[in-house]
């Protein structure tokens, strides 16, 4: 980082010399996480379905003095994930931090839900995290160090009508997190899940105002979260301060699940 570059003002975590792979880094929560980890000194491997989609993230990181590279592919494709992890290893040699953030919704009431809507959401949100964790986990095992953060949702902790597919994927991610945390613990690899509540991004923008008002009413803090609320926690979980913290699910939801 050039001497005159100003790291993120809230950055108290030193990730200098570390490589962080962030999926779904083209916008929303993933972009905020990628930018934050880069501001804390990490070299970021940013993943989304297209390089064009990642251009804004890469440009923002580089113009702030950080280092980032775009890797295109679908998290729902085992082949794409293997290729991306090989490319990241070839380019940066190591991977210290993995953030499984890419996710989609295909909402609808369960009785009318098509197979495809259920399968697509599971394949992106849950299989995607599995493919990346398996591939990067092998790299981390060799390094005897790693930090894995899975972005779940409060919908994985409590039911949400219209999201049977999404909540199944996010609850599955929580079970996955706890088991993988136990499997990798002796190798100095921590695995945790963050469960955001309602965060203002493109994903939630599409909801009608009436729905937003109802959700807000259920949030004790009476406001929606921002992408930086999630990035702050992911950054902490990725850093040295979280060395004895593994297998946990932390909700960042303004008290919604309190
Ligand atoms: N926003 C919320 O209130 C909220 C609440 C709880 C949990 N979450 C979770 O937080 C994560 C991020 O949400 P967000 O609100 O930031 O969503 P978003 O704005 O819709 O962004 C989703 C990201 O995922 C990427 N993505 C989607 N499918 C992909 C695939 N098959 N392969 C690679 N990348 C893919 C998208 O990239 P491209 O389209 O460029 O490929 C994009 O970068 C998701 O896992 C979501 O479930 C969000």
What domains can you pick out in the chain, each with its CATH number?
Answer: 19-252 (3.40.50.720)
pLDDT tens track of the chain, all 258 residues?
444 444 555 578 999 999 999 999 999 999 999 999 999 999 999 999 999 999 999 999 999 999 999 999 999 999 999 999 999 999 999 999 999 999 999 999 999 999 999 999 999 999 999 999 999 999 999 999 999 999 999 999 999 999 999 999 999 999 999 999 999 999 999 999 999 999 999 999 999 999 999 999 999 999 999 999 999 999 999 999 999 999 999 999 999 999
**Atom 47 in ligand 1: residue holding the nearest Cα:** 103
**Atom 36 in ligand 1: residue holding the nearest Cα:** 24
Which residue is catalytic, options 145, 166, 236, 244?
166
- C-alpha to C-alpha distance for 4 and 11, rounded to whole angstroms: 16
- C-alpha to C-alpha distance for 161 and 200, rounded to whole angstroms: 20
Task: Pick from 26, 28, 198 the residue to mutate for probing ligand 1's pocket: most ligand atoms within 8 Å of its CB.
Answer: 28
Question: Which residue, among 253, 50, 15, has the nearest Cα to 151 in the 3D structure?
Answer: 253
* 16 C-alpha to ligand 1 centroid (Å): 26
Cβ contact 48:102 at 8 Å:
yes
- C-alpha to C-alpha distance for 154 and 170, rounded to whole angstroms: 8
* 61 C-alpha to ligand 1 centroid (Å): 19
Largest CA distance in the chain: 58
Q: Can you give the pLDDT at residue 8? A: 52
CA-derived radius of gyration, the chain: 17
Is 236 part of the annotated catalytic residue set?
no
Cβ contact 185:246 at 8 Å:
yes
Question: Which residue, among 192, 115, 87, 178, has the nearest Cα to 146 in the 3D structure?
Answer: 192
Which atom belonging to ligand 1 lies closest to the Cα atom of 125? 45
- C-alpha to C-alpha distance for 135 and 250, rounded to whole angstroms: 24
């Amino acid at each position: 980082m050039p001497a005159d570059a100003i790291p993120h003002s809230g950055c108290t975590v030193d990730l200098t010399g570390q490589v962080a792979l962030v999926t779904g880094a083209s916008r929303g929560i993933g972009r905020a996480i990628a930018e934050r980890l880069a501001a804390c000194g990490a070299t970021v491997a940013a993943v989304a379905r297209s390089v064009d989609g990642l251009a804004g993230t890469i440009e923002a990181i580089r113009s702030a003095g950080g280092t980032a590279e775009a890797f295109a592919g679908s998290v729902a494709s085992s082949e794409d994930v293997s290729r991306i992890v090989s490319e990241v290893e070839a380019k940066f040699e190591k991977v210290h931090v993995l953030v499984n953030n890419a996710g989609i919704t295909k909402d609808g009431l369960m009785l009318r839900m098509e197979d495809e809507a259920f399968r697509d959401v599971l394949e992106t949100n849950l299989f995607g995290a599995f493919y990346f964790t398996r591939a990067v986990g092998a790299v981390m095992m060799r390094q005897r160090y790693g930090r894995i953060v899975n972005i779940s949702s409060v919908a994985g902790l409590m039911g949400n009508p219209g999201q049977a597919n999404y909540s199944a994927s996010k609850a599955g991610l929580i079970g996955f997190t706890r088991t993988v945390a136990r499997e990798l613990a002796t190798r100095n690899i921590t695995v945790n899940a963050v469960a955001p509540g309602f965060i203002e991004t493109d994903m939630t923008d599409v909801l009608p105002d009436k729905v937003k008002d109802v959700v807000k009413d259920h949030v004790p803090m009476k406001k929606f979260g921002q992408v930086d609320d999630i990035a702050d926690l992911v950054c902490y979980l990725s850093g040295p301060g979280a060395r004895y913290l593994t297998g946990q699910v932390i909700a960042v939801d303004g008290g919604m699940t309190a």
